[in-house]
Structure 1
Amino acid sequence: MNDHPPLIAMIHAVPAGARIAQDAFAREFPEARLWNLLDDRLLDDARAVGGLDAALRRRMLRLIGHAAEGGAQGVLLTCSSYGEVVDAARTLWKIPVLKSDESMFHAALTGPYDRLAVAASTPPAVPAALAQLDELSARLRPGRPARIAAVLSEAAATAATTQQAARHLADALHATEADDIQAVLLAQYSLAPVGPALSDLLGLPVLDGAGAAARDLRTTLLPQVLAPAQVAS
């Protein structure tokens, strides 16, 4: 392997996202060097203006540019709220830039599943996940759309333990009419620690975004370490 392992920059909106992403890379891509960039006003400022305005989009692009110009060979946004900025970033930089849950959604839609559930503990995560799934589904499996249910359990966000959070999410899933779900997708990085317990309770695969992104970047970057990023001409 190259003496200089790939440098992955991760842009976080909350410290919890940083910890979960680092744990995922330690499991799935231990060869990577990690660079954590935290802007803990990203979510509050987006809430204050009711979404992403032009100034916030430019701010995220500056953060991605800072990572690329600093030598990152891959960039992962761990906040789903800013995922739409990635499409613009990909026209500016040649390195892989991933949305928080893109790899998880891709793996689910190209896998053996036709009936999926998206689980969340905060309301904004649901429409963001469904919009991305709909877009990817139309592109990856035209004519064979996946059936997708969404469940929300705000109680899971304040649960004292991962086991309790898993139970809240399992109860929410059982309360839906989608009783033939084949896999569950966790719509937030903050829910990743709940995955194993939720899988045990449901007897189903539970996918999380951080682990899928780490596996995706490892597959892309390990064959050869990319040259430093350059702005696309």
Structure 2
Amino acid sequence: MRVGLLHTVPALAPLFHDLLRARRGDLDIVHVVDPALLADTIAAGGVTDEVAARVRGHVESLARAGASKVLVTCSSIGEAAERASADTGVSVVRVDAAMAGTAVDRASSAGAETGRVGTIAVLATLEATLGPTVRLVERALTSADVRVTATLVPQAAEARADGDGATHDRLIAAAVGATDADVVVLAQASMAAAAGGDTRVLTSPESGATAFVDELGAVV
């Protein structure tokens, strides 16, 4: 079975390739990597119509190449991915969709157990990612009694851009430790390495890959 992956961070291509193949060894995976999508989204403060059109173009290209389903691994362009799916009819999965649902379930359960409102803290290193992820989590709330907060981790993105992964991870870990939320959502797949052993933390690579492969069972 051939599937497509759209990335904006080059380092995520081999990571997700291995995650998917570990879950389903017969997959024929086609990758598209376009860092300019993220750079332009950051520069504009969000997804522009031009970025959305390029995302749609990549999705259509992957479908023409024979991909039966497409996984978009960048949370910053997640809403553009949903628009592309609606516009083209191609099955597109946001990498953070499964994580959002799990976050709501866990926070709701934690609140019910203690007789209070459950809490979710969404952390991001990029302002362009924070809004889309928070909106995704809030959309998953439905009737759940859960409060969602959003925090930008200062200087982490700059450290990563400078090649200082250790500082990037340390700043994120400090932000995780500073919140008392029931659930902590790391909005970007590139933040996953900073999760540490805190059981409250949810990241998108593992959950996104698992959900994507699970959905393939319904694809003919």
Fold match, TM over 0.5?
Answer: yes
Higher helix share: 2
**Conserved in 1, the CA contact under 8 Å of 2:38 and 2:77?**
no
Amino acid at match of 1:51: G
**C-alpha spacing 1:82/1:186, structure 2 compared with 1 (3 Å):** same
- 1:1-233 matches, within 5 Å, as 6-111=1-106, 112-113=109-110, 114-138=118-142, 142=143, 144-157=144-157, 158=159, 160-162=164-166, 165-176=168-179, 179=180, 181-195=181-195, 197=196, 200=197, 202=198, 204-222=199-217, 226-227=219-220
SS of aligned partner of 2:11? helix
Residues matched between the structures, number: 207
Query: Normalized against structure 1, the TM-score is what?
Result: 0.75
**Conserved in 2, the CA contact under 8 Å of 1:186 and 1:207?**
yes
**C-alpha spacing 1:39/1:161, structure 2 compared with 1 (3 Å):** closer
SS of aligned partner of 1:72? coil
1:198-226 deviations in Å (ceiling 9; x for gaps): xx2x4x2322112111111221113x5x3
Q: Which runs of 5+ in 1 are unaligned?
A: 1-5, 228-233
Whole-angstrom distance in 2 between the partners of 1:206 and 1:121: 15
Deviation at 1:68, TM superposition (A): 1.4
**Conserved in 2, the CA contact under 8 Å of 1:11 and 1:38?**
yes
**C-alpha spacing 1:194/1:47, structure 2 compared with 1 (3 Å):** closer
Whole-angstrom distance in 1 between the partners of 2:170 and 2:41: 31
SS of aligned partner of 2:173? helix
**Conserved in 2, the CA contact under 8 Å of 1:117 and 1:184?**
yes
Whole-angstrom distance in 2 between the partners of 1:94 and 1:46: 24
1:75-123 deviations in Å (ceiling 9; x for gaps): 1111222222233333345553112311211222234453222122223
**Conserved in 1, the CA contact under 8 Å of 2:69 and 2:92?**
yes
**Conserved in 2, the CA contact under 8 Å of 1:104 and 1:208?**
yes
Deviation at 1:43, TM superposition (A): 2.1
Amino acid at match of 2:105: T
Amino acid at match of 1:122: L
Provide the identity percentage. 26
**Conserved in 2, the CA contact under 8 Å of 1:10 and 1:34?**
yes
**C-alpha spacing 1:94/1:107, structure 2 compared with 1 (3 Å):** farther
Q: Which runs of 5+ in 2 are unaligned?
A: 111-117
Deviation at 1:12, TM superposition (A): 1.1
Alpha-carbon RMSD across the aligned residues, in angstroms, is: 2.6
**Conserved in 1, the CA contact under 8 Å of 2:188 and 2:204?**
yes
Amino acid at match of 2:187: A
SS of aligned partner of 1:89? helix
